[in-house]
Amino acid sequence: MRKFALIAVPYAWLLALFLIPFLIVFKVSLSDTALAIPPYTPTLKDGFGALIDGLDLENFWFLTTDDLYYKAYLSSLQIALLSTFLTLLVGYPMAYGMARAPEEWRATLMMLVILPFWTSFLIRVYAWVGILSNEGLLNQLLLWVGVINEPLTILNTNTAVYIGIVYTYLPFMILPIYAALDRMDDSLIEAAEDLGCSRLTAFWLVTVPLSKNGIVAGCFLVFIPALGEFVIPSLLGGSGTLMIGKVLFEEFFNNRDWPVASAVAVILLLILIVPIVLFQRNQQKQAEAEQ
């Protein structure tokens, strides 16, 4: 009985916060748009029979008729993958440095990584607008140092989107890698070096494999939200930045087409299910290995 209660809590959580909302969105994706409140038909008010009759897969079919959608999915995938890689590139050395730092500093360093969360995400992204714009801090600095003669156009380009995503999700990469590195036994490195490894080889052969779980967890934690990102591309990206989050917004707000917007969201979720399942497996394996 106690065991049942223990399992029931997470499942109730999943049911209330994932499955039910998903079913609502899925139902809307099978409806037709209407000029009414809410702007689709049929609704629950029409009765169950009419509800079942009125649902079809037309909206999913529609997504295949315009190459906008698959282009947006592909371009989102590309942006999410590349920015996950960049986040790893920046985050790993930081996590490594933290794990190698003297014991008494680590709490402070950890604090510094978490500190940005004390400010609203939106405000921090807006701050980048001020840094990256043509008259922004970065260009002023570069002009003053004399590296460039004309301001660089960074804001409103994909470069700015990458900077925004890497900056925003960096803590999600650092923390799991740090956790993995922190647990590592230093004597393993010593053993490797005693057996003739150079420091670099020891890093590749011992440290990296032992932090693999942290790397995988960090990459998923960055990739999954980056794929559906809306705020960063709309504030920092230009009109040429095509991401599925923006397409979804336009379907919902500009076209008032909730059913097609829901269909776009359902597909996005299907794309994400693969990495989410892989992530779950990885977490499980890790948990088992620790027991």
Partner 1 sequence: MFKPLFTGTAVLALMAGTAMAQEVRVYNWSDYIDEDLLAKFEEETGIELIYDVFDSNEVLETKMLAGGSGYDVVVPSGTFLQRQITAGAFQKLDPSKLPNLDNMWDVVEQRTEQYDPDNAYSINYMWGTTGIGANVAKVKEALGEDAPLDSLELVMNPDNMSKLADCGVHFLDAPAEMLPMALKYIGEDPDSHDPEVLAKAEEAMMQIRPYIQKFHSSEYINALANGDICVAVGWSGDILQARDRAAEADNGVEIVYNAPKEGAQMWFDQMAIPVDAPNVDAAHTFLNFIMDAENMAAASNYVYYANGNKASQEYLVEDVIDDPAIYPSEETLNNLFTTTPYPQKVQRVVTRAWTKVKSGT
Report the interface residues with partner 1, using CB under 8 A.
Answer: 33, 35-39, 44, 66-68, 71, 134-135, 156, 238-242, 247, 250, 252-257
Asked if 244 contacts 178 with a C-beta cutoff of 8 angstroms, the reply is no
Q: Is the omega angle on the peptide bond into residue 259 within 30 degrees of 0, that is, cis?
A: no
Alpha-carbon torsion, ordered 20, 25, 27, 33, to 10 deg = 150
Return the amino acid letter for 74: L
Residue among 39 and 275 whose Cβ is closer to partner 1: 39
Residue among 88 and 247 whose Cβ is closer to partner 1: 247
Burial tier of 257 (Cβ tally within 10 Å: 0-12, 13-18, 19+): buried
Q: Which helix (H) or strand (E) holds 33?
A: strand 32-33
Residue among 137 and 278 whose Cβ is closer to partner 1: 137
CB-CB neighbours of 71 under 10 Å: 13
Residue among 222 and 242 whose Cβ is closer to partner 1: 242
Of the candidates 72, 79, 68, which has an alpha carbon nearest to the alpha carbon of residue 236?
Answer: 79
**How far apart (Å, rounded) are the C-alpha atoms in residues 236 and 268?**
22
The token pair at 185 is 């036994």
Shortest reach from residue 53's CB to partner 1, in Å = 20
Residue among 121 and 253 whose Cβ is closer to partner 1: 253
Residue among 93 and 130 whose Cβ is closer to partner 1: 130
Shortest reach from residue 31's CB to partner 1, in Å = 13
Shortest reach from residue 162's CB to partner 1, in Å = 18
Shortest reach from residue 123's CB to partner 1, in Å = 17
Shortest reach from residue 20's CB to partner 1, in Å = 11
Shortest reach from residue 45's CB to partner 1, in Å = 10
Of the candidates 165, 141, 176, 175, which has an alpha carbon nearest to the alpha carbon of residue 245?
Answer: 165
